[in-house]
Amino acid sequence: MFANCVECFGLCCVALPFAASSDFAVDKDAGTPCRNLSSDFRCAIHSSLRQKGYPGCTVYDCFGAGQHVSQETFGGRDWRKAPDSTSQMFSVFPIMRQLHEILWYLTECLTLTSAREVHDAVRTARGDVQRLTQGSPESILELDVPAIRADVNVLLLRTSALVRSGFAGKKKNRRGADLIGAKLRRADLRGANLRGAYLIGADLRETDLREADLIGADFRGADLRGADLTTSIFLTQFQVNAANGDTSTQLPKTLSRPGAWSTSRL
């Protein structure tokens, strides 16, 4: 479920639209190749995306859906050489991306020993979703992804409750909270429910976020220098990429420190 761009036909750079904003320098329609996409499907400005006005690209993660659609669903057919498959491939990609994101969360559930009582149900759900990813393009296009997400979310919520149950008296339900620009330096948010919280530009320096549920939390521009996220749950690479941090930021072992982060310590 990790993205391998070498095995992908640049699907995120073609299939998806974007609008001129602080995240992208120009407008691009869905199905239109990005002007920076090279003939070998690599990004011509990959090393300078932020400097050239494309920070939105640096925080995107397909969870491995790109190579799956390119190499498995469409059997290695390059969309440029198989124009009859182009429209279908571009439509399948965002659906596959959602399925792979779901698999990411279910896989993480199985690593959480405090949620072992739901592991059997999680394994069953993960197997069901994996089988859906192996379907034909036609079957994938017919999937009711919101319904799949709703079913899986029951397990994710139960997992979250089990992981955070050990922090009675410290639990904070800030689900979906507007914490844009909030001053939370050195806050004890261990075991907090921050699902879908807006933490854009928040000061989270030296904040304890262990065992906090961070699924869907918006960390764009948040200051995570010195923060401890080692055992936070449902944190993804693209959330980390959207934040600011340094060498003192502690991350889960499954995630990488963004190259754009400061190499100095707080």
What's 233's domain CATH number? 2.160.20.80
Locate 255 and state its tokens: 């995630």
61 & 156 share domain: yes
Using a 10 angstrom Cβ sphere, with 0-12 exposed, 13-18 middle and 19 or more buried, the burial of residue 102 is buried
54 shares its domain with 136? yes
- C-alpha 260/C-alpha 242 separation (Å) is 10
Same domain as 132, residue 12:
yes
Number of domains in the chain: 2
Give 56-107 pLDDT, tens digit per residue: 998 889 999 999 999 999 999 989 888 888 999 999 999 999 999 999 999 9
Q: What is the DSSP string of 9-71?
A: -SGGGTTS-B-SSSS-SS-B-TTS--TTB-TTS-BTTGGGTTTTT-HHHHT---TTHHHHIII
> Closest Cα partner for 132 from 100, 174, 175, 160?
100
* Domain identity same for 61 and 120: yes
Domain of residue 237, residue span: 169-266
Cβ-based neighbours of 133, under 8 Å, separated by 6 or more: 68, 96, 99, 100, 103, 140
Domain boundary among 149, 164, 179: 164
First and final C-alpha spacing in the chain = 32
Domain identity same for 120 and 252: no
Stated pTM of the model? 0.91
Instruction: Copy the structure tokens of residue 254.
Output: 């499954």
> Which of 164, 182, 203 is the last residue in one of the domains?
164
Q: Are residues 66 and 173 in the same domain?
A: no
217 & 86 share domain = no
105 and 229 assigned to the same domain:
no
**Within this chain, do residues 10 and 141 fall inside the same structural domain, yes or no?**
yes
> 177 and 156: one domain?
no
Q: What token pair was written down for 50?
A: 């932020």
Q: Are residues 159 and 248 in the same domain?
A: no
> What does pLDDT average to over the chain?
93
Tokens 């854009």 map to which residue?
Answer: 200
206 vs 250: CA distance, rounded Å: 10
Q: Which of 164, 182, 207 is the last residue of a domain?
A: 164
pLDDT per position as a tens digit, 245-258:
999 999 999 999 99
Domain shared by 18 and 47, yes or no: yes
Q: What is the pLDDT of residues 201-214, one digit of tens each?
A: 999 999 999 999 99
